[in-house]
Amino acid sequence: MKSFLLEEREQGCLLFTINRPEKRNAVNFDVMDGLSEAINLAKKPGVKTLVITGAGEAAFCSGGDLSVFHQLKTEEEAYGMLSKMSNILYRLLTLPKPTIALMNGTAVGGGCEIAAACDFRVAKKGQKAGFIQGSLAISTGWGGGTILFEKLLAGNALKMLMESRLFQVEELADFGFIDHIYDGDREEVCDSFLRKILSLETDVLSAYKKMLIRKWTVSGLQKRMEEEVRNCAALWEKDVHHELVAKFLERKS
């Protein structure tokens, strides 16, 4: 089964689906490559928006696939993977088209980092999400922590990161992380959320998005994301991280 699906829908909507429901839509290198491909396709003149979601109803994305990435032991090995995904998320963040995380289920760790890199987050009622990386003795490593501080009040971002737990979707809406909570058919909800946005010309949408991108360029966001990657890579190789991941995988087996 293919790890991701790409579909060009009506009104210029490009839909990217992480298609690993048996792994709670965890990210592996194939998913990374697929997201990179989706970002490239979204630059086409006929595409107005990129929507990211997960297959099934249980999970939007459970972060990095630990069964794969636990094989990375050293700081150098971890840096290769972390920097690859960080570069993809920076490209997603600075795509000159509106982007939506259609969060159909739980978002954990790197799944929240992907969601943070999108312009809007539409979440299913009853779901939970959280940056749980701290519980595995690492920090965010794909740039999502840095992005979070760009989008939320500092206190709210710090609470989400430092408590390293799952939050109810209502709490996340109060923090400003979730823009809309839905209950029902997710594609219908997404179409409704996007209706007014997609009624505008693509050049108009891009003009507004570029205002935000200019702000991030001036503030050196990419460099700050790179520092986050390096900090996480240094923590990754520590014994405590590998011990906690091993225990986590044992519980899951």
Give the CATH number for residue 67.
Answer: 3.90.226.10
Does 218 reside within a domain? no
Residue 112 lies in a domain: yes
Helices (H) and strands (E) in the chain, counts: 11, 10
Measured CA to CA, the distance from residue 114 to residue 158 in angstroms comes to: 18
Q: CB-based contacts of 181: which residues, under 8 Å, 6+ apart?
A: 122, 123, 124, 125, 169, 170, 173
Does the residue 30 lie in any domain? yes
**19, 2 Cβ separation under 8 angstroms:** yes
pLDDT > 70 fraction of the chain, expressed in percent and rounded: 100
User: How far is it, in rounded angstroms, from Cα 125 to Cα 99?
Assistant: 20
Tell me if 193 is assigned to some domain: no
Q: Cα 35 to the chain's mean position, in Å? A: 10
Q: Are 130 and 160 within 8 A, CB to CB?
A: yes
The total of structural domains in the chain comes to 1
pTM for the whole thing?
A: 0.97
Alpha-carbon distances of 9 from 46, 152, 187, rounded to whole Å: 11, 31, 11
- Three-state DSSP at 166 gives coil
Quick one: pLDDT at residue 253?
Answer: 66
Contacts 24+ apart (CB under 8 A), 243-247: 244/135, 244/136, 244/137, 245/66, 245/70, 245/136, 246/70
Q: At a CB cut-off of 8 Å and minimum separation 6, what does 193 contact? A: 100, 120, 122, 180
Q: Is residue 81 part of a domain?
A: yes
pLDDT tens column, 109-136: 999 999 999 999 999 999 999 999 999 9
| pLDDT tens digits for range 60-88 | 999 999 999 999 999 999 999 999 999 99
Q: For residue 22, what are the domain limits?
A: 4-183
Helix (H, G, I), strand (E, B) or coil at 21: helix
Mean pLDDT along residues 222-248: 96
Between 253 and 147, name the one with better pLDDT. Answer: 147
Measured over the CA atoms of residue 142, residue 147, residue 152 and residue 157, the dihedral's sign is positive
**201 domain-assigned:** no
Q: Tell me the β-bridge partners of 15.
A: 7, 51
Is residue 198 one of the residues assigned to a domain?
no
As a whole number, the mean pLDDT across the chain is 96
- Structural domain includes residue 93: yes
